[in-house]
Amino acid sequence: MTTQTDPTRRSILTAGAAAVALGSFAATRGTAQSANAPAGNSTAPQGRRMLGALEVSAIGLGVQNHSRTFQTTIPNRSEMHNIIGTAFDEGITFFDTAEVYGPHESERILGEASSAFRDQIQIATKFGFNVDLETGAWAPGLISRPSHIKQAVEGSLQRLGTDRIDLLYQHRVDPEVPIEDVAGAVKGLMDEGKVLHWGLSEMGPNTLRRAHAALPVSAVQNEYSMLWRGPEDGLLALCAELGIGFVPFSPLGYGFLTGAIDMGTSFAPGDFRAGTSRMDTENRQANLALVDLVKSWADRKNAAPSQIALAWLLAQGPSIVPIPGTTQMPHMLENAGAAAINFTPDELAELNGQVAAIDVQGARMPAMVEAWSDVEAPPRA
């Protein structure tokens, strides 16, 4: 049986700090971005960041699990609407979903919840997994054929209740389709005004260079957290070189960095985390050193552990925009408050050194899932 999540287990940011962070978000909330915004603009108002030419809130909200949780239960739909609406009220304007989440239901929930403020937010969604366009049935394999991309986007637009997608990602690289063909299909959608910016997720570095040369890429979305620092091995530098923003998914290590998982935690059947060897008993024991470190800094900075983990990511670069996901209101508010946590240069150097000194044990994903990462698209004939 899975350990139940306690809505109050993660302490809420002090009222004063929350007001600073969320007030700065709200004061600078943007409207829908144009694909014609000048490229290479790396400056943004306080509380906001640039993904290429797309301005977003410094912290986003991932709504992947708003149709189901790690515990395989179905969240209350009206409460998910409430969380999304409250996130917007508090200044979060960057919302992340995908056709495969649900499948389809995450996009529907986000569309329902955001209809009243659609023009004031930035929506990111993704294509690329083999999801039936009508039924949402998920079959093996990846599909990024140009004709399929256009159909997938039409479905996403309908479910989201919108006429354009602010940021469209290729969810995983299709090993059968040249990335130039993918870029061409997205360019056609941009010309129609249905897509404003595009990005890639978990692609190989050469594919990213080729994609950017074919059609400027605004953002890369990959896993990145204190628990998984793989992007530091060249990808972050490549994004900085090309002027591409970086969006970390699972920035809290699937909840691990919040302290919600300990040696007594068990996982429900089907819970993704149970299939990652870093959660195996012996590896988890070693990896809890990261949780202890985060908790010590939380005490030091009068913050919550999740806020330290997110603030650390924000401090790694000016175009990094984490998208923590949650189905609980207190956690969303707490995550949003991470933007108020700052490190002095000396503090950041100290924390970076401490994080680097911990050797995380185990793989981040099951082997069959990790096989979709760092894939290089085939050359164009």
Instruction: Quick: pLDDT tens for 314-353.
Output: 999 999 999 999 999 999 999 999 999 999 999 999 999 9
C-alpha 89/C-alpha 379 separation (Å) is 46
| CB < 8 Å & 24+ apart, contacts of 85-88 | 85/113, 85/114, 85/116, 85/117, 86/329, 86/332, 86/333, 87/61, 87/332, 87/336, 88/114, 88/117, 88/120, 88/121
∠ at Cα 8 (4, 12), nearest 5°? 140
pLDDT of residue 42: 54
327 close to 75: Cβ distance less than 8 angstroms: yes
In the chain, which residue ranges form alpha helices assigned H by DSSP? 15-27, 77-89, 105-114, 146-160, 179-191, 205-214, 235-242, 281-301, 305-314, 329-336, 345-356, 367-370
Q: What does 43-75 look like in DSSP terms, one character per residue?
A: ---TTEEEETTEEEESS-EE-GGGS--TTS---
State yes or no: pLDDT of 11 exceeds 80.
no
State yes or no: pLDDT of 249 exceeds 90.
yes
Average pLDDT, the chain: 89
| Residue 300, both tokens | 């030091």
More confident residue, 355 or 278: 355
- Return the active site residues: 101
pLDDT of residue 41: 44
At 34, the pLDDT band (50, 70, 90 cuts) reads: very low
Please state whether the predicted TM-score (pTM) of the whole model is above 0.95: no
pLDDT of residue 365: 81
pLDDT of residue 28: 35
User: On the CB side of 249, how many CA atoms lie within 13 Å of its CA?
Assistant: 19
Instruction: Quick: pLDDT tens for 211-221.
Output: 999 999 999 99
Q: Residues 37, 40, 44, 47: what is their CA dihedral angle, to the nearest 10 degrees?
A: 110
C-alpha 14/C-alpha 270 separation (Å) is 36
Nearest CA-CA partner of 33 in 96, 118, 108, 114? 118
State yes or no: pLDDT of 259 exceeds 90.
yes
State yes or no: pLDDT of 92 exceeds 50.
yes
Region 148-155: what's the mean pLDDT? Answer: 98
C-alpha 116/C-alpha 100 separation (Å) is 24
